[in-house]
Structure formats: structure tokens, C-alpha cells
């Protein structure tokens, strides 16, 4: 899909991920070894009354689901050279509620804006709202992604 | 350190991390299995001409270094209850240059703003600019962190 072909609006479900004690702890050991991410017994007496997932784990799972959906790095499928390396990055990453073992989050993405980028006439910038919600529809995590997408060759 | 005790300005070095082919691929297998993160041979013919780290890997390493520096979740050392769960999240995460195997990035943090948060009078919001730079001082990654910190009890 080229930039021109991408519709705005409409939530797309990327998939779901079950956070378990095992995968929460495995992530924490590598990147966020705080007691409330690392040790279910110690976490009982911690600030959350139990184990919760690292916010960076919740974030990385989004990428995993994007790749599984072949929605990652659309621009990279083109011929963006090393010198052209560009990443507009993310905005407003927010963790709204603690993610506990056993919770399944469903991640969605919804494109809401397209922008020209004068210095990169072959690319357009797609901004999307991304959310991760629990089975009760409560919002646990959200952020705005910004991705460059190849335009239709003229 | 209470909110009141934290000085603004002054870059603090959190530490350095060496990205290797091994740890780049290990992260990619879990969270970002795109060919240019996953397979050095396949990546040669990809858009970057070689393997590069997932941006979410670069991001997660910041958390690892924050925890190692005991600068993580200052508010969590207090008595923030589950009901009080709050995370103002991050702003403006940006990946400026591709991170290749063998690169060592040094992460710094610099507090630049303190804000009151009327709904949480026991906490203050600390905003910091975070950067990861290479040995040549080139900027590879940056974002603004926002963390609630416990105020000095009155």
C-alpha cells in the first residue's frame, strides 16, 4: 500500500497478547529489574500490591503485533537509503493502568492524519493513534505513532 | 531525594550499553522480527545495508540504565497506591540514526522542568530530556521522560 492508498479513520485490530508472570519477569530481568516487575512475592508488599509488567514491555508488544500484521516500517520496503534514515518517532506514550499477570491486551491502530514532508518528497507521514485495551475495554496503554510511507511513484 | 531536592539542569550520565549482533538479534526475535533487525546476512541487502537495532531495544536500554542508577520510579518508593496509579508517560521519542552492531551508546538525562499536579498534591512532575549518543557525540536517540516524584512531607 502506498501512502495515497491508506484510509484515515477506522480502528484496525493488530492482535492480542497475554501477559503472564513468566513473560513479565523475563522482560524485567533484561530491561527493568524493579521488584514490582521482577518478583511476584516481593511485589505483594510493593506499591502495586503485586507484580505488574514494565511499561516498556507493554510498548514492545505493540511492535511485535505490528510486525505480525506486516504493518511495520512501510517506508522500509522501499528504497530508503542509509543516508535517508529518518524516524519521526512517537508522541504521547502513556501507561494508563497497571498490567497484571493473566491480563490479555488487545492492540488497535487508527490512522488519523497524513502530512507532507517537504524534505522527503517521495514519502508521506502517517500519524496513528494506538491503544491497548483489556477485555473490559479499559484503556491500559496508548501512544501516537508516526511512520513515513512511500508515495505512489509518479 | 524528594521533588523539592532535585536540581534542574546538568546532564547526568546514566551509563553506556554496547549493542552487539547477539543482543540486537535476541531483542528482535522477541519483539521486532524484521529482517534488518534479525539476520545480519539478509540485512546486507535490506534498506540499511546491514543489521540495525530495533528502536524499542534502544528505548528499553534506557530503562535498564535508569534502574541500575536507582533513578527509576522515584514516586514508587513512596506509598502510591494502586488506585493512584498514574503515569504521565513519555514525549517525543525519536530515533535519529541507525544503531549498528558494535556501537556503544552513552545515555544521559537532564531535568528541565518541574510542574505541580493539582490532583496529586503529594507528587510533583519532573520532566527530563534523555539522550543516547555515540562515541563521536552523534545523537542516536532522544525522548522526554515525565515522572512523578514524592514531595517532602510537610
* pTM of structure: 0.88
Phi (first) and psi of residue A10, to 5 degrees: 95, 110
Test B54 with A61 for CB contact under 8 angstroms: no
Given a contact cutoff of 8 angstroms between Cβ atoms, the answer to whether A61 and A68 are in contact is: no
User: Does residue A33 register a pLDDT over 60?
Assistant: yes
A81 confidence band (pLDDT: 50, 70, 90): very low
Phi/psi for B118 (5° steps) reads: -55, -35
* A83, A86, A90, A96, best to mutate vs chain B, most B CBs in 10 Å: A90
Average pLDDT, chain A: 87
| Average pLDDT of the residues of chain B | 87
**A77 interaction partners in chain B (CB closer than 8 Å):** 47
Cβ atoms of residues A136 and A117 within 8 Å: no
Contact A34, B67 (CB under 8 A): yes
A107 against A35, higher pLDDT = A107
Find the CB nearest B32 among A46, A63, A90.
Answer: A63
Res B85: pLDDT: 58
Report pLDDT digits (tens) over A104-122. Answer: 999 999 999 999 888 778 8
Say if B71 is an interface residue toward chain A (CB within 8 Å).
no
> Above 90 in pLDDT, residue B52?
yes
ipTM: 0.85
Please, which pLDDT band fits residue A77 given cuts at 50, 70 and 90?
very low
Of the ranges A93-97, A104-108, A118-122, B25-29, which one carries the lowest mean pLDDT score?
Answer: A118-122
- Residue A79 pLDDT grade (very low, low, confident, very high; cuts 50, 70, 90): very low
Say whether residue A35 is in contact with chain B using an 8 A CB cutoff: no
Average pLDDT over residues A64-71: 86
Report the gap between the CA of A8 and the closest CA in chain B (Å).
Answer: 22
pLDDT bucket at A49, cuts 50 / 70 / 90: confident
Q: Work out the minimum CA distance from B154 to partner chain A, whole angstroms.
A: 21
Contacts of B76 (CB under 8 A, 6+ apart): A34, A36, A46, A47
- In this complex, is the C-beta atom of A44 within 8 Å of any C-beta atom belonging to chain B? no
Per-residue model confidence as pLDDT tens digits over B79-137: 444 445 567 788 899 999 999 999 999 999 999 999 988 877 888 889 999 999 999 99
Q: What percent of chain B has pLDDT over 90?
A: 58
Q: Among all residues of chain A, which has the CA nearest to that of B95?
A: A87
What residue ranges define each of the domains in chain B, with the CATH number in brackets?
Answer: 7-19+52-150 (3.10.129.10)
* A140 close contact with B: CB closer than 8 A: no
Mutate to test the interface with B, among A22, A56, A71 (most CBs of B within 10 A): A56
Size of interface A-B (CB pairs under 8 A): 105
Give the sign of the dihedral formed by CA A56, CA A94, CA A145, CA B107.
negative
Mean pLDDT of A12-31: 96
| The predicted structure's pLDDT at residue A76 | 47
Q: Collect all residues of chain A within an 8 Å Cβ-Cβ radius of residue B59.
A: 56, 59
Strand residue runs (E) in chain B: 12-18, 90-95, 104-116, 123-133, 139-150
How far apart (Å, rounded) are the C-alpha atoms in residues A34 and B73? 9
Q: Do A34 and B94 touch (CB under 8 A)?
A: no
Measured in whole angstroms, how far is the alpha carbon of residue A24 from the centre of its chain?
17
Q: Which residue has the higher pLDDT, B116 or B73?
A: B116
Q: Which helix (H) or strand (E) holds A14?
A: strand A12-18
User: Cβ–Cβ of B55/A87 closer than 8 Å?
Assistant: yes
Amino acid at each position: 500500500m502506498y501512502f495515497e492508498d491508506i484510509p484515515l479513520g477506522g480502528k484496525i485490530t493488530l492482535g492480542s497478547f497475554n501477559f503472564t508472570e513468566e513473560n513479565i519477569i523475563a522482560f524485567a530481568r533484561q530491561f527493568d529489574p524493579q521488584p514490582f516487575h521482577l518478583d511476584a512475592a516481593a511485589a505483594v508488599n510493593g506499591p502495586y500490591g503485586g507484580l505488574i509488567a514494565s511499561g516498556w514491555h507493554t510498548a514492545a508488544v505493540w511492535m511485535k503485533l505490528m510486525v505480525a500484521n506486516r504493518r511495520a516500517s512501510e517506508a522500509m520496503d522501499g528504497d530508503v537509503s542509509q543516508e535517508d534514515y529518518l524516524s519521526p518517532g512517537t508522541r504521547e506514550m502513556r501507561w494508563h493502568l497497571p498490567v497484571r499477570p493473566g491480563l490479555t491486551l488487545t492492540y488497535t491502530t487508527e490512522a488519523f492524519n497524513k502530512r507532507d514532508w517537504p524534505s522527503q518528497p517521495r514519502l508521506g507521514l502517517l500519524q496513528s493513534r494506538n491503544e491497548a485495551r483489556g477485555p473490559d475495554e479499559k484503556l491500559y496503554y496508548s501512544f501516537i505513532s508516526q511512520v513515513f510511507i512511500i508515495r505512489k511513484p509518479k
